[in-house]
Structure 1
Amino acid sequence: MIEVRELTKSYGTTVAVDQVSFDAHAGEVLGLLGPNGAGKTTTMRILTCYLSADAGSATVAGYDVFEESFEVRKQIGYLPESAPLYADMGVIEYLNFMTQVRKLPKSQRRERIRAVIDICGLEDVIQKDIGELSKGYRQRVGLAQSLIHDPPILILDEPTSGLDPSQIIEIRNLIKNIGQEKLVLFSTHILPEVSATCSRILIINNGKIVANGTPEELAAQEKGEEIVHIAIRGSQDAIEAQLNELEFVSQWNRVDTDNGIVGYQIHAAQGSDAAEALFHVVVKNGWSLTELRQESVDLEDVFLNLTDKEQV
């Protein structure tokens, strides 16, 4: 649905987007994660035809963002960080106005307004002016306008910015539900956003994509190995002799011994499914297993390591 190749954009001597390339597909929620000033918003503005790039190419739903911008705009719903709302308009009045801006046939307008009210949970505020609404409901109205023409692609820039914790959860759930049918590309600098919402993550820093993958893939890449914690009731000598024979185990450390139970931290080759293999070893030898868990790398560690490396 989105193909970006070597996209570059500068402001004077500052390179905001530096040869960025990525693909995005229908049915996924793709998070563009990076610190403030990393190039997230500039990338989105190019994809929504708000800005032109200096070099590279980008297509949205098969249309070139530089040569076919009007066709691109028909395929996307866009919610910028500051939602384009008119405080003196009523919610229904505003949504009806947006159906006209999007040039929907009159016969479809009532149906689409009702649909986005249901999707975005606006039933309780449809009689109010936008200026009377809380920040959370205003964001819902902004999301509703991006959906009014039923586009296959949603591009959301910092959609939970300024919301309280309960409002953030509500908007996250909305995004996840919408992402079951549409491509959703959204930017954020808030780590819990992507781990709670996204099926895939692009980490951008200093205008460059520095990582691309699912949260699990990024964690695995950062670790470079699997680390398993295991506690076994059995002969310590026999257990350690067995660990020394396992090809996938690169290193092990005894961490605890108590009442015949011995604990180990085991380092294994990435992709070896070490936890499952160790379970079978324990069963085969007739030992008792009292603990088995695979250590995970927090997404925060991945993010900080990747962005710090780029800044060195």
Structure 2
Amino acid sequence: MSIHVQNLTKHYGKQKTLDNVTFQTPSNRIIGFLGPNGAGKSTTMKTLAGILPIESGQCRIDGIDIQQDSLLTKQNIGYLPENNPLYADLYVQEMLEYQAALYKLKHPKSRIQEVITLAGLENEQHKKIKELSKGYKQRVGLACAIIHDPRVLILDEPTTGLDPNQILEIRQLIRELAQDKTVLLSTHLMQEVEAICDEIIVIHQGKIKDQFMLNDKAQRYPNLSMEDIFVLLTK
């Protein structure tokens, strides 16, 4: 599913958080959404996920306007926020049952088992969430985001705070999910960008500074690493 954002503008009080943000991406890609803290990444992602209202501009998921049909677009979007809001006292299966009920899935039991297997939670499914490592909590968050089999995944810093082994595991899971989904993810880890992303969008001070395919990096920015490009575009 494609993502199309046109002239998205957002204010918090007198501060302009998003300034005519415009970009579009085709289906079945992993798009790295990069920028410093406060650049507007989370605001854009929350708007696409239907959590924040659109103040000005237009957002479309696979051609469907979020404002015109918010319910349909939300059915096709899975969202994992940075703080991964899980209910710590629920068992993993209970958390997924709750998510399945929210989406009114027709066959929740079979879908929950599918998602548990996909997210690698077979050995953890009977534990309470508070008993899990942070890496497995992220897996539960991803399982919740995909329980309704969305076509678009919006992941806000999905590997923040994980150890190197956990980061590799979550990256591999994201790659697997992206085989039939469009994934928009934010990260501060440039190694992660080069490891899993197909396309790069850089935002700074609420404005899109550049958008390019990772394969075109060497031609577009000769002899520059992703860290160099990030600094260049966000000075």
**Counterparts of 1:29 and 1:194 in 2: how far apart (Å)?**
9
**Counterparts of 1:207 and 1:46 in 2: how far apart (Å)?**
13
CA RMSD of aligned residues (A): 1.2
Considering fraction of residues, name the structure with more strand.
Answer: 1
Partner of 1:300: 227
Give the deviation of 1:219 after TM superposition: 3.5
Partner SS, residue 7 of structure 2: strand
Task: Indicate the structure whose relative CO is greater, using CA pairs within 8 Å and at least 6 residues apart.
Answer: 2
Stretch of structure 1 that moved more, 296-305 or 156-165: 296-305
- 1:195-224 Cα offsets, whole Å, 9 max, x none, are 11100010111111111112232332223x
Which amino acid in 2 is paired with 1:306? L
Tell me, yes or no, if structure 1 residue 121 matches structure 2 residue 120.
yes
**Counterparts of 1:129 and 1:36 in 2: how far apart (Å)?**
32
Partner of 1:178: 177
Partner of 2:154: 155
1:212 and 1:218 in contact (8 A); partners too? no
TM-score (norm 1): 0.73
Partner of 1:221: 220
List runs of 5+ in structure 1 lacking aligned partners: 224-295
Partner of 1:110: 109
List runs of 5+ in structure 2 lacking aligned partners: none
Give the deviation of 1:181 after TM superposition: 1.0
Partner of 1:65: 66
Which amino acid in 2 is paired with 1:151? P
**Counterparts of 2:148 and 2:54 in 1: how far apart (Å)?**
27
Percent identity between the aligned chains? Answer: 47
Give the deviation of 1:22 after TM superposition: 1.0
Tell me, yes or no, if structure 1 residue 51 matches structure 2 residue 49.
no
Count of residues paired in the alignment: 234
- 1:241-277 Cα offsets, whole Å, 9 max, x none, are xxxxxxxxxxxxxxxxxxxxxxxxxxxxxxxxxxxxx
- Which stretches of structure 1, 4 residues or more, deviate above 6 A after TM superposition? none
Give the deviation of 1:122 after TM superposition: 0.3
**Counterparts of 2:21 and 2:112 in 1: how far apart (Å)?**
36
Partner of 2:90: 89
Give the deviation of 1:61 after TM superposition: 2.6
1:61 and 1:75 in contact (8 A); partners too? no
**Counterparts of 1:54 and 1:190 in 2: how far apart (Å)?**
30
Which amino acid in 2 is paired with 1:77? G
TM-score (norm 2): 0.96
Partner of 2:201: 202
